[in-house]
Amino acid sequence: MRFLVLSDVHARSKVARFANRHLQEQGLDAVIVLGDITHFGPASWAGEFLSQLKRPAYALTGNCDPPGTLEEIERHATSLHRRKVRLGGWTLGGHGGSNITIFNTPNELPEEELEKGLRPIMEPGMVLTVHCPAYGTLDMTSVDRHAGSTAIARLVREFRPRAVLSGHIHEARGIVEREGTLYMNPGAAKEGLAAVLELDGEPRARLLDPAPEQ
């Protein structure tokens, strides 16, 4: 399967338009949305956004998504929050929200709660989808500080997923491979950024050129 990967939509209506264009032009099968669909609400915006996508969507909440967003995801897409699904021989699963930040956003959790929610769905070789990155990988902020989750990093070391998809840190867009795990941050969709994940054989990822302003 081939996925369009989005994160950090932040309630920009242009994202659905350029996402659908990518889906059609590149012949992609589905969409993975890594959270921050809304910008502090309303939760209903997430449902409106997901319902506009022209392919099946698999989604998480982000730290800026308010209560009620998960329910909107469950109505309009397949939630990957604290659960996993099997697709084409691969297991996809994950966790929404983030670790504690300095910004007091509505969907933050202590590290121990992130681990408690993730551990039951972890398995070796899976595709892990999280809003918050693992500490130390694609998590460097504009002030040169790591902002990722230590709990997620610990679980990645223990279970060795084949791929880890995350967003949250807008300035940490990129793709790296470490110790057999492919990490990708597609960049902030609100800025016209997205990526592709291919799961035909070994996982492959590529960043897409920024979508033009609309």
* Each residue's pLDDT tens digit, 149-188: 999 999 999 999 999 999 999 999 999 999 999 999 999 9
Q: Are 185 and 133 spatial neighbours (Cβ–Cβ below 8 Å)? A: yes
pLDDT band at 212 (very low <50, low <70, confident <90, very high): confident
Does 214 score more than 90 pLDDT?
no
**Rounded mean pLDDT, 25-49:** 98
Q: Which residues contact 117 (CB under 8 A, 6 or more apart)?
A: 82, 95, 109
Closest of 9, 22, 20, 79 to residue 196, by C-alpha: 22
**Sequence letter at residue 204:** R
**Rounded mean pLDDT, 96-124:** 97
> How many DSSP H helices and E strands does the chain contain?
5, 12
Domains and CATH numbers, the chain: 2-207 (3.60.21.10)
pLDDT of residue 211: 87
pTM across the whole model:
0.97
